[in-house]
Structure 1
Amino acid sequence: MSRHKLTGDAEARQPLLTGHYLDESELGSDEGEVIFDRTTEAGVRVPRKLTYEEAVEETGFGLFHWLLLVVCGWANASDAVEILCVSFLLPTARCDLLLSSTDGGLLTASIFLGMMVGGYMWGYLADQKGRCKVLVVSLTVNGLFGGLASFAPWFWLFLLMRFISGIGVGGSIPVIFSYFSEFMPRVRRGAMISALATFWMAGNILAAGLAWLVIPKTWAHFSLGTLDFQSWRLFVVLCSVPSITSAIIFKLFMPESPKFLMEADCEKEAIHVFRLMFELNMKGKEKAFPEFGLHTSSRQRREQQETRIWGSSSERLANALKKGLVPIKKIFKSPLRSRSITLIIIFYSISFGYYGLWMWFPELFARAEDGGSPCANVSRPSALHNESCYPVKTAVYMEGFVIAVSNLPGNIFTILVMDSTGGKALLSGSLLLSSLSVFLIYVVQTKAQSLVLSCVFSGVSVIAWNALDVVGTELYPTQLRSSALGFFTGVGRVAAITGNLVFGKLVDANCAVPVLLVSALLLVGGLVGLLLPQTRQTELT
């Protein structure tokens, strides 16, 4: 797939309305319906204007969408790798950096703090400047600073690099789902977004597998000047590779969202993307592209022009900052207010529960290495020296890998039933089951039982995340979609930070408190989810 093919050049962006007429075989319809329904005074027939949903239907479904799934899925997986790698390096990195449990909580929280800062900022820019451009920059920030963190000799510098990396992750997660959904026909949108969400599991498995292969190995330990380059540092470098490669792919090959282009009144560019989709989907079939015009909006372009010509540079900056808050005000006005408040509660509950517990799974299992439940052994020292963590015990990484793989049944289930059941029912049901599984983790008394229930929690909670990805993209219009998702993921990052700090503070003193708190919050989220409107196969506005 060439760069010319997917991004177009000056020639490819010329008017595409050539006045081509379609016969019945090209239309695939017995009625032989044509898409020309207007005649000028000179008697020249011109293409009728199509809405976004009609244009997507005209392009068909096929190779383009599967290639898009792979590319966007790899970006989603790269975010998972960057976030979850901290949980796998924590048992050994805390030794080399002499970290207390509180420091470990700060480390796991640092990337979420960055995601909170970056989430809304990138989402707003994506709604103003375009999805693809923002994805390239945010993925580059993610991978670059994630890799640089491996060379940090001091804890504070490592923390800073992880924070900046988190700013990049905060942009790519909400924007990738907006971008992907805006290429999908509505009858397949739920299943395809669910399929995209399964790549989070792939990233989880990749991170766990790399940790298992690299961190325990002595060959990955060498000196780099004055820096003692332990195996966990090499693991951090490898975890940055998916983000960098994903940024390169988007920069070189991927087109802008046609829905965004229509909202920005870029009709020619949008038609070019639709033509590309059609050509790839109909590859090998003798079927001509159905020429048409588009119903576009001049709103976004007009607002950008007003921003450029308004006042001095300081006034323009103040105006830009003021405009940045406009989407937040809009999502909390009727008729979006009730769903927005509901989503705040859900995002907070699931993010506190999932990330608060998931990021500490390797540490909890390390505490249970001698038998018993993860909360039974609280004698682990608060600061460790190098010799106390080597040789690295591989069982911790094997268990993390098993839990990561346990996402698979939940992902398959979501793909199969999302379009028929709808996101609302799956979201509430999975949150309630997740709450029960976490409560039972506290109740059980053996490590084996804890591992089984952790796998159950992993498999069930991923259904909630997948359903939330689908519901979130369908609840808001195009001009607010990325901003809204960025804002809510920011709320989720606040919850993730809180959850990790709570675990860091209480895991030594009373492990039961954060575990039971996770169970309670997931229960609340599941009940509140019943208040959301049903969005199954709805049109994107």
Structure 2
Amino acid sequence: MSGNNYTPEERAGLLVNCDVEDEEAIFDAQERKPQNKDGTSYEDAIEATGSGRYHIMLLLICGWAVSSDAIETLSLSFILPSATCDMKLSAPMKGWLNAGMFVGMLFGGYVWGSLADKYGRRSVLIFSLIINGLAGLASSFAQTYWLFLLCRLVSGIGVGGSSPVIFTYYSEFQSKTRRGGMVSALATFWMCGNIIAAGLAWVVIVYIKINFHLSDFSYSNWRLYLALCTLPSLTSVLVFLLMPESPKYLLLTGKEQDSLLVLQKIFMANNKNSCLEDYGVNSIYLYDGDADEQKKMLAAKKCPSNFKQNVLAILRLTVELFQKPLLHNTCVLLLISFSLSFGFYSLWMWFPEIFDRIEKYGGSVCSPGKSHNTSNTSVTECLPPNNNIFFDGFLTAASNLPGNIFTIFLMDKIGRKLLLASSMVISGISVFTILLISDRISNLIVSCIFGGISVIGWNALNVLSLELFPTKIRSTGLGIQSASIRIGAISGNLIFGILVDANCSVPLVMVSCLLIFGGLMALRLPDMTGRDIL
């Protein structure tokens, strides 16, 4: 069948799950009417669905997936003090563990993001979440350092794919009038994941006593903690199996009827007392630029796909990002992403270690007390972690809350660019004070200030990135940006791991300077507040 000739049963089935795989059963591109302006634009159609139950449900579902990425990424920082004795970890080895996760995210962000532009957001999201969860679970059983590092790298591949695709998927359900606030609301779930990771570490590692040994196999409370941290990603898979594909992606790939059915489903969920006829949208159209890209995508789908063609398709999408008119924005976004990631993750992944050192040895992180032996950095002294570090980690994670609330209500009023620039500059200045800290309370206060301010920059960057990349290459663009973020995180963690025992003032100064530089670069981006996205 073609066109709109659905039976009532088929139409009901599509309303439940509009991710229809058989193109010919929905449309034939040559039989559909050409793109014109007689229907309703996508932006007007999504605006007409309103805001209500469906968007709340979507926020919670996507938010849980974002939390799972945060938990999997940040959980490693909470187990390092405990795993030091079990795996005889030195500071450089810890740096490689932190960096290994981001190496996987670097690869996964690019590949999965590009595949999401070719095969759809939902299916790619599901597969990346599966890899994330299973590899994270396997790492809890790894007995050797190198196997543990490999598992965390594979888990990073999953996180690197799901993280940008979740935001792409979610943003394409939002209208321009509420996009900034809603994406900011989604970004707050990273904070929720951070709090869950810190709180779970506080409960499991401190209060649950497990120390199982059998020959060369051991299982302790920090391993149980890692296993529990995989539950959010694995449960997210089950939920996304019931969700439809992004309506904007469906429209771009020629499935206008599928896209319209998703929009109708959203309208009916948001307006329980209305009839479907009240929606008033019978056909939808794309911008001219997207319509041209749609023809290319439909032509490509008619050709058989193989590995070589998939690689070429990914490269084609990548090259387009570095051509005018996208070249300037792409380069500036990559520089900002690297700077913010280098600064944020260099400190955030090492905060528990910093807390632990100050608790054990006194002094400051760069000038520890006399009981700390810095003459041998190959093996960190095997002492059990102080329980206070997990409580401090929990408070530091919770410090993101004010910044997240601030961006939810003011992102569409103040503007993304101003928030991004000011947040990064203030964060950079605050890092200098860490060099002067010599007690736990002062370190905790500065850490909370850094967390509360820097999260504003992350939220603003998330919104700007989604708005500056066109729909046809949005996941690819976010994947490239994700790669820049991972390179920054890898560089920061390796440099911090190498220099933390030798001359830790150097990486702290680098962090501060890069954050200020990134904030100034943000002034070169356009502000997309209240504007249509392509």
The Cα of 1:290 is off from its aligned counterpart by 2.3
CA RMSD of aligned residues (A): 2.4
Give SS of 1:223's match.
strand
The answer to whether the aligner puts 1:373 opposite 2:383 as a matched pair is: no
TM-score (norm 2): 0.89
Asked whether the equivalents of residues 216 and 393 of structure 1 are also in contact (C-alpha less than 8 Å), the reply is no
The Cα of 1:268 is off from its aligned counterpart by 1.2
The Cα of 1:228 is off from its aligned counterpart by 1.1
The Cα of 1:8 is off from its aligned counterpart by 4.6
Question: 1:300–1:167: structure 2 CA closer, same or farther, 3 Å change rule?
Answer: farther
- What amino acid does structure 2 have at the position aligned with 1:375? C
Q: How does 1:70-89 map to 2 (within 5 A)?
A: 70-89=60-79
The answer to whether the aligner puts 1:432 opposite 2:430 as a matched pair is: no
Residues 421-472 of structure 1 show CA distances to partners (whole Å, capped at 9, x for unaligned) of: 1110000000001001111111333332121111000000000000000000
The answer to whether the aligner puts 1:7 opposite 2:17 as a matched pair is: yes
Q: How does 1:128-207 map to 2 (within 5 A)?
A: 128-207=118-197
What is the match of residue 257 of structure 2?
268
Question: 1:456–1:118: structure 2 CA closer, same or farther, 3 Å change rule?
Answer: same
Inter-partner Cα distance in structure 2 for 1:213 and 1:317: 46
392-401 or 156-165, which deviates more: 392-401
**How many pairs align?**
503
Inter-partner Cα distance in structure 1 for 2:275 and 2:302: 46
Inter-partner Cα distance in structure 1 for 2:462 and 2:388: 33
Pick aligned residue for 2:91 from 101, 119, 138 = 101
Inter-partner Cα distance in structure 1 for 2:148 and 2:320: 38
The answer to whether the aligner puts 1:320 opposite 2:301 as a matched pair is: no
Asked whether the equivalents of residues 134 and 230 of structure 2 are also in contact (C-alpha less than 8 Å), the reply is yes
What is the match of residue 351 of structure 1?
341
Inter-partner Cα distance in structure 2 for 1:94 and 1:382: 13
The Cα of 1:350 is off from its aligned counterpart by 0.4
Asked whether the equivalents of residues 209 and 220 of structure 2 are also in contact (C-alpha less than 8 Å), the reply is no
Question: 1:255–1:225: structure 2 CA closer, same or farther, 3 Å change rule?
Answer: farther
Give SS of 1:368's match.
helix
Pick aligned residue for 1:414 from 380, 387, 407 = 407
Q: Which runs of 5+ in 1 are unaligned?
A: 17-39, 41-46
Residues 384-405 of structure 1 show CA distances to partners (whole Å, capped at 9, x for unaligned) of: 689x333x42111111001000
- What amino acid does structure 2 have at the position aligned with 1:197? A
Percent identity between matched residues is 45
Residues 65-112 of structure 1 show CA distances to partners (whole Å, capped at 9, x for unaligned) of: 110000010010100000000100011112101111111000001110
Residues 207-233 of structure 1 show CA distances to partners (whole Å, capped at 9, x for unaligned) of: 000111111235233236641101110
What is the match of residue 90 of structure 1?
80
Give SS of 2:502's match.
coil
Inter-partner Cα distance in structure 1 for 2:269 and 2:195: 31
Q: How does 1:451-470 map to 2 (within 5 A)?
A: 451-470=444-463
Residues 342-370 of structure 1 show CA distances to partners (whole Å, capped at 9, x for unaligned) of: 11110010001111111001101111014
Asked whether the equivalents of residues 191 and 415 of structure 1 are also in contact (C-alpha less than 8 Å), the reply is yes
Question: 1:9–1:320: structure 2 CA closer, same or farther, 3 Å change rule?
Answer: closer
Inter-partner Cα distance in structure 1 for 2:311 and 2:14: 36
Asked whether the equivalents of residues 372 and 447 of structure 1 are also in contact (C-alpha less than 8 Å), the reply is no
- What amino acid does structure 2 have at the position aligned with 1:244? L
Question: 1:6–1:395: structure 2 CA closer, same or farther, 3 Å change rule?
Answer: farther
Pick aligned residue for 2:40 from 50, 61, 68 = 50
What is the match of residue 479 of structure 1?
472
What is the match of residue 449 of structure 1?
442
What is the match of residue 281 of structure 1?
270
Asked whether the equivalents of residues 356 and 500 of structure 1 are also in contact (C-alpha less than 8 Å), the reply is yes
What is the match of residue 396 of structure 2?
403
Give SS of 1:82's match.
helix
The Cα of 1:329 is off from its aligned counterpart by 1.5
The Cα of 1:9 is off from its aligned counterpart by 8.6
Give SS of 2:417's match.
helix
- What amino acid does structure 2 have at the position aligned with 1:468? L
The Cα of 1:540 is off from its aligned counterpart by 1.8
- What amino acid does structure 2 have at the position aligned with 1:402? L
Asked whether the equivalents of residues 105 and 156 of structure 2 are also in contact (C-alpha less than 8 Å), the reply is yes
Inter-partner Cα distance in structure 2 for 1:264 and 1:224: 55
Inter-partner Cα distance in structure 1 for 2:366 and 2:13: 54
What is the match of residue 109 of structure 2?
119
Give SS of 1:151's match.
coil
The Cα of 1:383 is off from its aligned counterpart by 5.6
Give SS of 2:218's match.
strand
Pick aligned residue for 1:293 from 277, 283, 308 = 283
Inter-partner Cα distance in structure 1 for 2:217 and 2:179: 49
Inter-partner Cα distance in structure 2 for 1:214 and 1:454: 23
Give SS of 1:194's match.
helix
Inter-partner Cα distance in structure 2 for 1:143 and 1:92: 22
Inter-partner Cα distance in structure 2 for 1:384 and 1:210: 28
- What amino acid does structure 2 have at the position aligned with 1:403? T
TM-score (norm 1): 0.88
The Cα of 1:537 is off from its aligned counterpart by 1.6
